[in-house]
């Protein structure tokens, strides 16, 4: 366990005495995953009789800070203060020890391995730890006074998004080519006027984002992409399958962050690069030089999934906790940060919803997919939380994508059918991508533009900005209880 001046101090123990032992007010709720199948390809350290859970704890960090003010020199702190995270982590460690103390000796010894590998998450006022527990242990945890709720870990996926290699010349009109790059274009971007840049021969998806009406022609290339800023100074964290950072679309503006794509044995499944294509595609639509929106923003890849590693809501929550700390302690001169994670659950996840809600309350923006099941996005996490920017997909005829999810939990729509994006086959490969994941990438780029102009915007203010810019009632089809709003870049 991490040591600090707060861990197991007498003051901390005193404050927590009322939370130790069993509650007389009833048991904390527990949420089970409705598929009884054991989650595959996820790192586990417990017997098959146990299931993986996330335990969400109630911690009064301000009171703990006050109790320790003689040691810290602070009587009050905010959730963005690194000290907040340290105090919360120490309190979570104490709760794990409380759990151990409540277990029979034999069970305590059996659980030492899984509890020794516990992951702590702190996102604002969201506090949790993980573990693999049998039914008896779950009952004990539910009775602990500090337990808010427990949830069985839920597997997630990239949700039926499709990628295929684009075989034809990308832009046949471009005269500037490198013979070794199979016709991959250099973007023809010029300053249109004192405040606007113009990209000629822009792929249809980004061209549609700078025109309030459907351009003609539109597919595969629209009548250009106009924009006022490239998202300079904004960092976009892409939680995904990795990123092909050497691709020409990124021009050195993409970098590797952590890689937590572990196999069941605990080994890294892959190196930091993207061997799937999903993460690279999303990142390129956000910041790509030719194919993306925010051409001066940066991407940091946070790899959470690989071919031989599964992804769960617990992993994403842990990643989001880490990113929260990385944002609050960043010293790279960035103006603002965004998270885009184009993954979702097949049902609601209480832990994911609670985590993104706290992330938004910290003032940060999280972009999520509506999903591709032709169903209500309100039945899925994190879109159903209403605490993200939830994005649906449209086609090049201004119709809703046939498989896009819909409903009142979708904030707006963006192109997501046969959109050109970067691939992983080479440093210049181009793929065609379909799905709400790729609509997310485009909207993340627009948000980078907004935050570059005003880094103080909260997620609610970002949503308001997106809606004020958007083209209303231009989509030609109809979906029940769903907005008819198409994203647009600042003009």
Burial class (CB in 10 A: 0-12, 13-18, 19+), 194: exposed
Read out DSSP for 273-330?
Answer: S-SSSHHHHHHHHHH-TTT-S-TT-EEEEEE--BTTB-EEHHHHHHHHHHHHHHHHT-
Beta-ladder partners of 338: 236, 365
Active-site residue numbers?
240, 278, 437
Q: Residue 191: name the closest of 229, 244, 155 by CA.
A: 229
DSSP characters for 134-191? Answer: -HHHHHHHHHBTTEEEEEE--EEB-TT-EEEE--S-S-TT---B-GGGTTPBPPEEEE
Cα pseudo-dihedral 282, 283, 289, 291, rounded to 10: 0
DSSP type of residue 461:
H
Question: What whole-number distance in Å separates Cα of residue 488 and Cα of residue 107?
Answer: 57
Say whether 460 sits in a helix, a strand or coil.
Answer: helix
Give me the half-sphere count of Cα atoms (radius 13 Å) on the Cβ side of residue 292.
36
Contact 345, 380 (CB under 8 A): yes
Rounded to whole angstroms, the Cα distance separating 35 from 424 reads 33
Helices (H), 362-472: 436-453, 459-469
Question: Mapping DSSP to helix (H, G, I), strand (E, B) and coil, where does residue 12 land?
Answer: helix
**Token digits of residue 110:** 């059996």
Is residue 238 classed as helix, strand or coil in its secondary structure? Answer: strand
- Give the three-class secondary structure for 103: coil
Region of residue 182 (left: phi > 0; alpha: psi -120 to 50; beta: else):
left
Q: How many CB atoms are closer than 10 A to CB 173? A: 10
Tell me which long-range contacts 417-420 makes (C-beta under 8 A, separation of at least 24): 417/393, 418/219, 418/220, 419/203, 419/204, 419/205, 419/285, 420/166, 420/170, 420/203, 420/204, 420/205, 420/220, 420/291
């Amino acid at each position: 366990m991490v040591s600090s001046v707060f861990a197991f101090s007498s003051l901390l123990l005193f404050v927590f005495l009322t939370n130790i032992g069993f509650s007389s007010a009833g048991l904390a709720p527990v949420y089970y995953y409705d598929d009884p199948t054991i989650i595959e390809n996820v790192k586990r350290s417990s017997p098959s009789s146990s299931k993986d859970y996330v335990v969400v704890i109630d911690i009064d960090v301000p009171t703990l800070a006050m109790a320790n003010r003689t040691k810290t020199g602070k009587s009050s702190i905010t959730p963005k203060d690194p000290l907040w995270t340290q105090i919360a982590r120490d309190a979570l460690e104490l709760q794990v020890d409380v759990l151990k103390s409540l277990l029979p000796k034999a069970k305590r010894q059996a659980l030492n391995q899984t509890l020794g590998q516990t992951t702590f998450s702190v996102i604002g006022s969201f506090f949790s730890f993980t573990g693999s527990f049998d039914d008896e242990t779950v009952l004990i945890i539910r009775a602990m006074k500090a337990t808010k709720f427990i949830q069985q870990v839920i597997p997630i996926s990239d949700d039926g998004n499709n990628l295929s290699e684009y075989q034809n010349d990308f832009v046949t009109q471009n005269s500037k080519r490198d013979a070794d790059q199979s016709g991959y274009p250099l973007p023809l971007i010029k300053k249109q006027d004192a405040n606007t840049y113009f990209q000629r021969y822009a792929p249809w998806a980004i061209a549609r984002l700078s025109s309030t009406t459907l351009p003609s022609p539109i597919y595969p290339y629209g009548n250009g992409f106009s924009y006022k800023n490239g998202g300079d100074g904004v960092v976009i964290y892409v939680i995904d399958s990795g990123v092909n950072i050497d691709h020409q679309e990124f021009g050195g503006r993409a970098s590797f962050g952590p890689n937590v794509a572990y196999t069941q044995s605990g080994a890294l499944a892959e190196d930091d690069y993207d061997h799937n294509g999903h993460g690279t595609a999303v990142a390129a639509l956000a910041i790509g030089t030719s194919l993306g929106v925010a051409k001066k923003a940066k991407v940091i890849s946070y790899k959470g999934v690989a071919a031989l590693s599964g992804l769960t809501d617990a992993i994403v929550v842990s990643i989001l906790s880490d990113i929260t700390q990385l944002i609050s302690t960043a010293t790279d001169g960035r103006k603002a940060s965004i998270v885009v994670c184009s993954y979702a659950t097949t049902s609601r996840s209480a832990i994911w919803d609670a985590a993104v809600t706290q992330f938004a309350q910290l003032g940060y923006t999280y972009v999520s997919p509506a999903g591709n099941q032709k169903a209500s996005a309100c039945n899925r996490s994190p879109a159903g939380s209403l605490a993200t920017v939830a994005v649906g997909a449209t086609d090049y005829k201004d119709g809703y994508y046939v498989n896009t999810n819909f409903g009142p939990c979708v904030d707006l729509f963006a192109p997501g059918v046969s959109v050109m994006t970067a691939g992983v086959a080479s440093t210049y490969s181009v793929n065609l991508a379909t799905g709400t994941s790729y609509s997310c990438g485009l909207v993340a780029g627009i948000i980078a533009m907004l935050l570059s102009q005003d880094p103080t915007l909260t997620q609610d203010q970002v949503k308001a900005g997106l809606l004020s810019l958007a083209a209303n009632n231009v989509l030609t089809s109809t979906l029940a209880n769903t907005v008819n709003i198409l994203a647009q870049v600042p003009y």
